[in-house]
Amino acid sequence: MAYSSTESGRFEVYIRPISQNSANGGPGIGKWQVSSAGGTYPEWSSTSKEIFFRSPENQIMAAPYTISGDTFVPGKPRVWSTVHIAEIGTSRNYDVHPDGKRILALLPAESKGDSHVTVLLNFFDELKRKVK
């Protein structure tokens, strides 16, 4: 389970195992800190051994990890993108694409640049129209 907590005095991202043994106080009990300079809203990658999270500066961070026996071994977090995402309070405002290579995120209103969104409705109707 990935979560964020202020138990260290600021929000950090942690990992804890969820298993029958850990629930009963047996082997597998542990907690590992993933972030090193603050972090919230962790999200597992579905295609690689990485955890994404939001930094205090509102950047998306990625931390690699390995598993060794019953031990989670976090790697050094890195900035995944230099683009700052919007601060919207207590909600996660990004999501990792299933391919693990792209992220959909809400950007601040004042952001400038080549960011854009294209929404295509009725895709198959549009395709039929273009083929005729």
Question: Going by DSSP bridges, is the β-strand pair 2-5/12-15 parallel, antiparallel, or unpaired?
Answer: antiparallel
Structure tokens at 18: 């969820």
- Residue 126 has what pLDDT? 80
Residues 51 and 62 sit within 8 Å (Cβ to Cβ): yes
User: Vertex 72, ends 69 and 76: CA angle to 5°?
Assistant: 135
Tell me the CB-side half-sphere exposure of residue 23, using CA atoms within 13 A. 4
- Residue 114 has what pLDDT? 61
- Residue 128 has what pLDDT? 85
The closest alpha carbon to 2, from 69, 60, 63, 47, belongs to: 63
How much helix, strand and coil, in percent to the nearest 5, is found in the chain?
10, 35, 55
- Residue 115 has what pLDDT? 61
Q: Spell out the per-residue pLDDT of the chain, length 132, in tens.
A: 999 999 999 999 999 988 655 444 555 568 899 999 999 999 999 888 999 999 999 999 999 999 988 888 999 999 998 889 988 878 888 999 888 888 889 888 775 666 666 777 788 888 888 887
Structure tokens at 77: 């977090």
- Residue 30 has what pLDDT? 81
CA distances from 120 to 88, 99, 117 (A): 27, 21, 10
- Residue 19 has what pLDDT? 67
Map residue 63 onto helix, strand or coil.
strand
- Residue 116 has what pLDDT? 65
List the domain range (segments joined by +) for residue 11: 2-131
Number of structural domains, the chain?
1
